[in-house]
Chains A and B, each alone.
Chain A
Amino acid sequence: MAKREIPEVNAGSMADIAFLLLIFFLVTTTMDSDTGLARLLPPIQDAPVDDKTPPIKERNVFTVLVNSNDQLLVEGKPMRMERLTEATKEFIENPRNAENLPEKKATDVQFFGTVEVGKGVISLQNDRGTTYQTYLMVQNELQRAYTELRQDLAKKRFKKDYLDLDKDEQSAIREVYPQRISEAEPKNIGK
C-alpha cells in the first residue's frame, strides 16, 4: 500500500497570531518594579509608659527635627541636608570617644570578638507640613550613614561587599552598628 502523504500545515499565519499576542502584552505591560525605603513602625502603646525605665541620656540621642519649611535642626543647630550623613556617621561611630557623643558598651560579637558598640539612638521628628520628599531624604541620609559604616566594616574585616556576605556575617556587622531610628509620636513643631 502506498504511503499516504501527510499534507503540510500552513504555518504562515503563525507570525500573525504571535504578533497579536505580542501587541497585547506590549500594551498591558507596566515595567515599574516596586522599590522604596523599608521601615518598621513601632507598635502602638495603649497603656501609658511606666516611668520606671531610666530616661535615655542626652548624649545618646541624636535629634533630627524637620520643620514645615523643610529645614533641618540637628542637635539644636540648623544643618544642610548634605551634611546629615557625615554628622550621623560621626554620631554612630564616635571615633574619638567624645564626651558629648554616645557611650559605648563592650559586647561580644561573632567574628569580631569584643567590640565597643555605641548606644546611640536617632530620634526623628517632623512637622505635618514637611513635604514627603524631604522626609524621605532625611530617612535616606540616615540609612546611608548606616549603610556606609557597615560597608566600610565589611571591606575591612571580610574584604568583601556587605551585600555579598552571608547571613551570619551580615548580622554580626549589624550587631556592631545596630540601627536605632526612633520616630516620635506626631506633634506639631515649628509652626
Chain B
Amino acid sequence: MAKFRKKKSGGQQAINTASLPDIVFMLLFFFMVSTTMKETDLKVTVRPAQATEIEKLERKELATFIYVGVPAKSFQSLYGSEPRIQLNDQFATVDDIQSYIAQARDAMKESDQPKMITSIKADKECSMGIITDIKQALRKAAALKIIYSANEMAK
C-alpha cells in the first residue's frame, strides 16, 4: 500500500535569481536620487554646531559656502592651527571673500541673483572673531542672506 515514494533527496534546488536585478536596481535608484556629489574637499575640520530651530536649505544651487575651521592635520605645518577660512578648494583670507561672492553671483542666473544665500559652515569651537570678520565682509559684498549651518540637536 505504500505508494508514496520518497521525494528524490539530495541536490539542492537552485534559487531563482531572476528578480535580483530588480532589487539591485531599486537600491541603485534610491542612491541615485538621494546622492549629492561632493563638490569640494574640506581642508579644514568642521564639526558642525547644533541648534533646534533649524531650517532646511531648500535650493542648493543658490547657496555659496564658506568653511571655517582649524586646518586639517596635513596642512597644519603650512597654515598653523588657528581657524582659517576655506573658499572653494583653497585657504583664503577675509579679504578674498568679496571677490569670491562677486564671482559666485556672476555664475548664477540673473533671476536667481537676489535670492543668493551664503552658508557659513563653521566649526563649533572656533571663536566669533573670524565669523564677525566674515559677516562684515559679506555685508560689504551685499550678500545679506546668510545661513549659519547647524545640525539638529540630539534630544
Q: What is A's interface to B at a CB cutoff of 8 Å? A: 11, 14-15, 18-19, 21-22, 25-26, 28-44, 68, 126-133, 135-137, 139-140, 143-144, 147, 186
Please indicate the chain A residues that have their CB under 8 angstroms from the CB of B122 in the complex. 132
A15 and B145 contact, CB distance less than 8 A: no
A35 and B151 contact, CB distance less than 8 A: yes
What are 19 sample pairs from A and B whose C-beta atoms fall under 8 A apart?
Answer: A14-B21, A28-B35, A28-B38, A29-B34, A32-B36, A35-B57, A35-B151, A36-B55, A37-B55, A38-B117, A41-B138, A44-B136, A44-B142, A129-B127, A132-B128, A140-B53, A140-B150, A147-B53, A186-B135
A15 and B49 contact, CB distance less than 8 A: no
Interface 9-residue window, one of B22-30, B70-78, B107-115:
B22-30
Given A29-B35, A35-B149, A36-B55; A133-B136 close (CB under 8 Å): no
B50 and A38 contact, CB distance less than 8 A: no
CB closest chain-A residue, reference B132: A186
B147 within 8 Å of A (CB atoms): yes
A36 and B145 contact, CB distance less than 8 A: no
A42 and B126 contact, CB distance less than 8 A: no
CA distance A33 to B152 in the complex (A): 11
A30 and B31 contact, CB distance less than 8 A: no
Please indicate the chain B residues that have their CB under 8 angstroms from the CB of A147 in the complex. 53
B154 within 8 Å of A (CB atoms): no
| Residues of B97-122 contacting chain A, CB below 8 A | 117, 119, 122
Please indicate the chain A residues that have their CB under 8 angstroms from the CB of B151 in the complex. 35
| Residues of B1-54 contacting chain A, CB below 8 A | 17, 20-21, 24-25, 27-28, 31-32, 34-38, 49-54
Besides A18-B24, A30-B38, A140-B51, 9 other A-B contacts (C-beta < 8 A): A18-B25, A25-B32, A34-B147, A38-B146, A68-B127, A128-B129, A132-B49, A136-B49, A137-B51
| Residues of B130-150 contacting chain A, CB below 8 A | 131-132, 135-136, 138-140, 142-150
Given A19-B24, A133-B124, A140-B51; A30-B148 close (CB under 8 Å): no
Number of interface residues of B (CB under 8 A): 54
B155 within 8 Å of A (CB atoms): no
Please indicate the chain B residues that have their CB under 8 angstroms from the CB of A68 in the complex. 127
CA distance A121 to B48 in the complex (A): 29
Please indicate the chain A residues that have their CB under 8 angstroms from the CB of B56 in the complex. 33-35
CB closest chain-A residue, reference B20: A15
B52 and A38 contact, CB distance less than 8 A: no
CA distance A117 to B136 in the complex (A): 32
B96 within 8 Å of A (CB atoms): no
Identify B53's interface contact among A26, A32, A37, A186, CB under 8 A.
A37
CB closest chain-A residue, reference B150: A36
Identify A131's interface contact among B25, B124, B135, CB under 8 A.
B124
B150 and A136 contact, CB distance less than 8 A: yes
- Tell me the smallest distance from the CB of B46 to a CB of chain A, in Å: 10
